[in-house]
Structure 1
Amino acid sequence: METENAYRPEPLTVTSTTADGATVVAVSGEVDHNSAGPLIQALALDGLGERPRVVVDMRGVGFMDSSGINVLLAAHRDLTPAGWLRLAGVQSSVMRTLELVGVNSVIPCYPSLTDALTA
């Protein structure tokens, strides 16, 4: 008897809360071309106020492709004139990708949400 093991990526969930005057965008799942929509919406300037301070909590992200990287870079570009964007809790597999393309030299990365909020 043959069994087919189809790969099904973990669906992306994105939630936004406020902590210490910053917007915390918690992301869980895999960020790729098909799933990036909710992250794009969460990082849109129109809902973040005049001086947006945003931390993307990436503890739950196990995979990110170039689509996710482009979302983060576009958000950084849009937010930095008046505010900032920081990444927190990036898993080692995703951090390796961010380091390879140099995102970590453009967007500050912190080991924890607390570190990102208090930096």
Structure 2
Amino acid sequence: MAEGEVAETEQATPAGELSVVASVTDGVHVLTAAGEIDHQTGDTLAQALDVSGAPRPRVVVDLGQVTFMDSSGINVLITAHRTLTEAGGWLRLARPGQSVQRVLRLVGIDAVIDCHETLHQALTD
């Protein structure tokens, strides 16, 4: 690398950790997750998905920076989907990476929870 050049890295969080950044776009709660969703970090996502008290809560989880998800993450998403649907709202998933999308397809979550290739699609469909 030439002097003065800076290498860009994609890693948003240290291995084994999960961060979730929450925002609201046109009344939709957008949760941008980065890192790994497993038995140690699943509670972080579950807490972020708790939008209790919001009328007809609509939530999109942007999975574009999630590098790993196991059955704990699947359980969190199923529970949130059920809770949000019972409250008259919905849950959508956006931008799952190849490894996460493979898990979603293997267990059939993509047939239960709307999955979209882009965040824009998840917000507008």
TM, length-normalised to structure 1: 0.89
Sequence identity percentage:
51
> Deviation of residue 54 (structure 1)?
0.3
1:68 counterpart = 2:43? no
1:56 counterpart = 2:93? no
Aligned partner letter, 1:86 = R
Equivalence for 1:24:
30
Q: Superposition RMSD on alpha carbons, in Å?
A: 1.2
- Report 1:1-119 matches (<5 A): 9-46=15-52, 49-81=54-86, 82-119=88-125
Aligned partner letter, 1:40 = A
Number of positions where the alignment pairs a residue of Structure 1 with one of Structure 2 = 111
CA distance in structure 1 between the partners assigned to 2:17 and 2:69 by the alignment? 12
Q: Gaps spanning 5+ residues in structure 2: where?
A: 1-13
TM, length-normalised to structure 2: 0.85
Q: Gaps spanning 5+ residues in structure 1: where?
A: 1-7
Aligned partner letter, 1:9 = A
